[in-house]
Structure 1
Amino acid sequence: MGRTSKVVTGGLLVLALAAVTVPAGLNLYPALLPRDAATAAVVPAAQLAPTTLQGISGVSALSAAAPLPDPAALTAGLDAALAFDGGTFSAYVADAATGKVLYSKDGDAARTPASNLKLLTATAALKSLGANTRMDTSVVQGSVPGTLVLKAGGDSMLAAGESDPQAAMGHAGLATLAQKTAAALAAAGTTGPVKLAIDDSLFTGPALNPGWDMGDVDAGEIAPIYPMALYGGRTSPGSTSGPRPQDSAVAVAEAFAAALEKAGVPTTGTITRTTAGTGTVLAKVESATVAQQVQYLLAESDNYVAEVMARLVAVKQGQEASNTGAVTAVRAVLASLGLPLDGVSTVDNCGLAVGDLISAHQLVQVVSFLVAHAGTDEGQALGGLPIAGLTGTLGARFTGPVTAAAAGLVRAKTGTLHTVSTLSGYVVNSEGRLLVFSIMGNKLAGGPASAMPSIDTAAAIIAKS
């Protein structure tokens, strides 16, 4: 391993350990103190838990003079790692700085990307919507006295409780919205029960994409798409499987009605739908930024949030905010960025549809674009790529003896379907070259888990090259 890689690895481990140990130290240390402060021993300053993270020193910028990997050695290693009888592999590796192709195994063949397709959706959302944009969920005065309209603005990461300004999921909370609404009604002298309606007309067309397998829908991989939802279209925070709400907008409205009751505003009658949410705004809550939501959907591979983001792109681009309009809008934004889509088939925007097709080369072009534009809105997507062995959907991978050396170094988007496993991202190799790669396993007879060891081994070889 070269010097640069050792330094970077050490720095990443420092950060990872600090992130874990600082909160633990701050929370546990007071519990160890004697109850009588006067009897507490004086703790040396060097033993006090840190209150801030220190910057890492000794990490230098990447050098353009760092040698490229030996293509012959890299090819031999990757060919061996991807020799697999239980399916097909395609792969593509390039140098980020020069674009030089270092390895290609059917790299231009269109394959099913699974959730690697989210890289395209994330790029388009950040470019079109803007990294710092927030989505409003608001309460407006209805046209009929005593009526409130809950208006959806595209936040699919609402929480039932109070807003959490430090979180992406639950940044906007319905309890906070209810408290603000109760205060506004009290200030206006409004008393008595109110009738609640929903305006979720921001999105149009079928809520389910016909390209999705109903087995995946029933298993909770996705749910009907609405422009407001709790917990990414789930019944509770952190839920990763099982049934989902079939009408997320109604689920939000029911949770909001309960929050209004707690805030002292009783509701009456049945919740209805309207398109008349244009009255005076009584209260609103704002979502996390588009960048924060995009980073979340990449790290956790959230299908629902990805599809909502794509429909918001359609709204921004003046397209119909339907499945078809969202696909068209995302492709249009990517084309405007100069990303070639020849031969690319996109049926949805989360990668759940088996009809999605793209090559490993084209996925590398998307990652290369993000790396080259790290300081722009689009480049904010890089912060959502899982870190091997540490975060997101890569948190439990790269832990074996063959791949552990790449833990903390590889940053990449995962993708899994019943017979698909993919990984696309970047890594600074042992010589200090930034390399971009995509590895795509399709037609996997043993399922996606059967290919992950080969994929992770290949990524580790790229890291060590």
Structure 2
Amino acid sequence: MGVKNGNARSGLSAAWGRLKWPLLLAVVLLCLGAVVVSGMVPGLLGTPKQPHPVPAWQQKPEALSGSGTVLPLDDAAQLPVPAEVARLLDGTLKPDGSGSISGVVLDASTGKVLFDRQGSAKRIPASNMKLLTAVAALKALGPETRFTTRVLGSEDPSTVVLTGGGDVLLGGGASDPSAVMGRAGLATLASDTASALSAAGIKGPVTVQVDDSLFSGAPLNPAWSLDDVAAGETAPLFPLALNSGRYSPTVIAGPRPQDSAVTTARAFAEQLAAAGVAVSTGVERGKGVPAKVLASAESATVSEQVDLMLETSDNFLAEALGRMTAAASGLKATYDDATTAVRQRLADLGIATDSMELADVSGLALDNQVSARTFAEVVRAITSGPELSLRAALDGFPVAGLTGTLDNRYVDPGTAGGAGLVRAKTGTLNTVIALSGYVVDADGRLLVFSFIGNGLEPGAAGNKAAMDRSASVLAACGCRG
């Protein structure tokens, strides 16, 4: 079990060093106690025995790799006792100041409810919304689907049309088959276009147009705060963009292009000029002729894009995947139809949707209302449900203390017990903190959980810590009462 791009383990070393030997000592003492009861102390003293090893799933991982499944599990392991789970979580799942935290814990194999605190109450989920989008996209589009960006000819031989196909992870340079962001690169697309123009005897100057008609409706969701847009949390959405709607793949904060389609077309025109094609100044919108494909480039798979979205909590990418999910569901590629498509796909999986209210599919909108129980059911569908295509989302869950949006958490003594063990999607807005994911407990049972805090005191550090401690409790749980 693992997560792609997971190589940051340095933050765990100190905490793990503090926990490892006390844990082993406790195991040794338990073994000694058992031997005393059986009257075998003399034999033990004469021939020292090795302490029972800590289960592999309760050890810090030495490496992270994609697996598409959750292992190991013990089908014969005893179920945690709900009263004991509640006793432990009631001691940790407390807000730091104002507000409240709801939560649900399920046994993944049986679906049995092990903990329920206002689990059916509607809550603002923040970026936990992306879990719903991930499931819907994988079900509607399929894990191996790729989006194609094309350069089409037009009725005017001297005009080429860069046509968006839903790939918002285009790179500015050469295509990189090993990458997720930048698998399709404008430099390669331009070079192939230049070769096609040369073969057709077109010497230029060439006019570059852009076709962004795949997505319809308003580019900017009216449910979003304009302050969030100005801060670069997201941007107006189009069916093609560089760097997930950013100026640079390495600068993930601050202002974004407000028209990613035109920005991308201008960058393509520059690469076309660099490839030796005389290019007219300016970029305009237009339509190409589908039969006249001059060049094309394919994105990373939907599975890879979903993993990137979950690991980095990318709002722009989430909304693009939502629009593509709508299109694959026979709907218009609008914000409203994206939420409709997500709701439909969840219903197809048998997940109740009647009470939820969806204003976007990234979680940036405060108008979203979804229960912790729904998120726990979604995580259960991903980890152990019958729809095998959803397993592709497993690698996208951030790993506590190691990857993604959890890379700098689970490093203090109060939470480090879950480092490397907890896999969970985070969510953060001004007064909202959420954490939904899964752990394999000390007995080898897979537990899924969702914790959502609303009305919290902005900036109070104890709220994330409360959720991290609670997930760590589940990871260490034998919980037999």
- TM-score under structure 2 length normalisation: 0.85
Whether 1:66 aligns to 2:115 is no
CA shift, 1:277, in A, is 4.4
CA shift, 1:409, in A, is 0.8
Whether 1:217 aligns to 2:265 is no
Matches for 1:229-308 after TM superposition, within 5 Å: 229-308=241-320
Contact between 1:82 and 1:455, CA under 8 Å: does it hold in 2?
A: yes
The separation in 2 between residues aligned to 1:190 and 1:276, in whole angstroms, is: 16
For the structure 1 residues 282 and 4, does the alpha-carbon distance in structure 2 shift closer, same or farther, using more than 3 Å as the test?
farther
Which AA in structure 1 matches 2:164? Answer: A
Contact between 2:160 and 2:288, CA under 8 Å: does it hold in 1?
A: no
- SS of alignment partner, residue 370 of structure 2: coil
Q: Which moved more, 1:377-386 or 1:440-449?
A: 440-449
CA shift, 1:63, in A, is 1.4
Deviations 1:374-410 (A, max 9, x none): 8722221111111111111011111111211211111
For the structure 1 residues 327 and 201, does the alpha-carbon distance in structure 2 shift closer, same or farther, using more than 3 Å as the test?
same
Contact between 2:157 and 2:202, CA under 8 Å: does it hold in 1?
A: no
Contact between 1:416 and 1:448, CA under 8 Å: does it hold in 2?
A: no
The separation in 1 between residues aligned to 2:435 and 2:78, in whole angstroms, is: 25
Which AA in structure 2 matches 1:83? Answer: K
How many pairs does the alignment contain?
Answer: 425
For the structure 1 residues 4 and 229, does the alpha-carbon distance in structure 2 shift closer, same or farther, using more than 3 Å as the test?
farther
Partner of 2:154: 142
CA shift, 1:68, in A, is 1.8
- SS of alignment partner, residue 451 of structure 2: strand
Gaps of 5+ in 1: 20-52
Pairing partner for 2:424 from 412, 415, 418: 412
- SS of alignment partner, residue 246 of structure 1: coil
Matches for 1:172-211 after TM superposition, within 5 Å: 172-211=184-223
Deviations 1:57-89 (A, max 9, x none): xx9741111112232222122111123233210
For the structure 1 residues 395 and 5, does the alpha-carbon distance in structure 2 shift closer, same or farther, using more than 3 Å as the test?
farther
CA shift, 1:411, in A, is 0.6
Whether 1:352 aligns to 2:364 is yes
Matches for 1:302-381 after TM superposition, within 5 Å: 302-373=314-385, 376-381=388-393
The separation in 2 between residues aligned to 1:241 and 1:15, in whole angstroms, is: 29
Q: Which moved more, 1:310-319 or 1:222-231?
A: 310-319
Whether 1:8 aligns to 2:57 is yes
- SS of alignment partner, residue 162 of structure 1: coil
For the structure 1 residues 195 and 113, does the alpha-carbon distance in structure 2 shift closer, same or farther, using more than 3 Å as the test?
same
Partner of 1:47: none
Which AA in structure 2 matches 1:69? Answer: P
Gaps of 5+ in 2: 1-22, 28-51
The separation in 1 between residues aligned to 2:461 and 2:332, in whole angstroms, is: 38
- TM-score under structure 1 length normalisation: 0.88
The separation in 2 between residues aligned to 1:193 and 1:113, in whole angstroms, is: 51
Pairing partner for 1:123 from 105, 125, 135: 135
The separation in 2 between residues aligned to 1:355 and 1:132, in whole angstroms, is: 32
> Following superposition, which runs of at least 4 residues in structure 1 exceed 4 angstroms of deviation?
1-5
The separation in 1 between residues aligned to 2:416 and 2:94, in whole angstroms, is: 21
The separation in 2 between residues aligned to 1:229 and 1:4, in whole angstroms, is: 50
For the structure 1 residues 454 and 141, does the alpha-carbon distance in structure 2 shift closer, same or farther, using more than 3 Å as the test?
same
Pairing partner for 1:155 from 164, 167, 186: 167
CA shift, 1:185, in A, is 1.2
The separation in 2 between residues aligned to 1:392 and 1:183, in whole angstroms, is: 40
The separation in 2 between residues aligned to 1:117 and 1:249, in whole angstroms, is: 26
The separation in 1 between residues aligned to 2:288 and 2:460, in whole angstroms, is: 47
Partner of 1:35: none
Deviations 1:151-184 (A, max 9, x none): 0000000010111111101111000101111111
